[in-house]
Structure 1
Amino acid sequence: MELLDAQVINTQYGLEIYLDNMDNVKVKALYAPDSDNEPYEIMIGVKYFLLRDRYYETKENYFWININNDNVVMLKESNTESLFAVKSESEREATKDLIGKWLIKTNNFKHAVIDSIEEQKRENVQSEVDITQVTNRINFLEKVLQIKTEDIERASINPRGYVFSN
Structure 2
Amino acid sequence: MKMLESKVIQTRYEKEIFIDEKPNIEINGFRSLNKNTPFYEFMIGLDLMRIRDNEYYGYKKSFIRIRISEDLQSLFVLEPDLQSIFAGKNTQEKEAAMELIHYLLVDSQTFNQVVSDMISSLRKVNVVNSLEIKELKIKLDVLERLLNVSEDDIKFTIPLENIA
- Normalising by the smaller structure, the TM-score range is 0.7 to 0.9
What is the correspondence of 1:4-83 to structure 2 with a 5 Å cutoff?
4-35=4-35, 38-56=38-56, 57-70=58-71, 71-83=73-85
| 1:40–1:68 Cα contact (<8 Å) kept | yes
Give the letter aligned to residue 43 of structure 1. M
Query: Following TM superposition, where does structure 1 have runs of at least 4 consecutive aligned residues deviating by more than 4 angstroms?
Result: none
| 2:78–2:156 Cα contact (<8 Å) kept | no
Q: Does 2:119 match 1:117? A: yes
* Counterpart for residue 156 of structure 2: 155
* 1:150/1:140 CA distance change after superposition, 3 Å: same
Give the letter aligned to residue 126 of structure 2. N
TM-score scaled to structure 1, two decimals?
0.83
Give the C-alpha shift of residue 123 in structure 1: 2.6
The count of residues paired between Structure 1 and Structure 2 equals 156
Q: Which runs of 5+ in 2 are unaligned?
A: 160-164
Give the C-alpha shift of residue 75 in structure 1: 0.9
Take 2:111 and 2:23, find their aligned partners in 1: how far apart are those partners? 9
| 2:67–2:75 Cα contact (<8 Å) kept | yes
Once the two structures are overlaid, the 10-residue window that deviates more, 113-122 or 11-20, is 113-122
| 2:22–2:111 Cα contact (<8 Å) kept | no
Take 2:69 and 2:36, find their aligned partners in 1: how far apart are those partners? 10
Deviations 1:56-95 (A, max 9, x none): 2211111111111242211122221111111112211221
Q: Does 2:93 match 1:91? A: yes
* 1:15/1:138 CA distance change after superposition, 3 Å: same
| 1:65–1:74 Cα contact (<8 Å) kept | yes
Please provide the CA RMSD for this pair.
Answer: 2.0
TM-score scaled to structure 2, two decimals?
0.84
* Counterpart for residue 107 of structure 1: 109
Take 1:49 and 1:62, find their aligned partners in 2: how far apart are those partners? 14
Give the C-alpha shift of residue 139 in structure 1: 0.4
Q: Which runs of 5+ in 1 are unaligned?
A: 159-166
Take 1:79 and 1:37, find their aligned partners in 2: how far apart are those partners? 17
Take 1:73 and 1:32, find their aligned partners in 2: how far apart are those partners? 14
Give the C-alpha shift of residue 9 in structure 1: 1.6
Give the C-alpha shift of residue 48 in structure 1: 1.5
Give the letter aligned to residue 116 of structure 2. I
Give the C-alpha shift of residue 37 in structure 1: 5.2
* Counterpart for residue 133 of structure 1: 135
| 1:26–1:109 Cα contact (<8 Å) kept | no
Deviations 1:120-142 (A, max 9, x none): 22333112232222111110111
Give the C-alpha shift of residue 39 in structure 1: 0.8
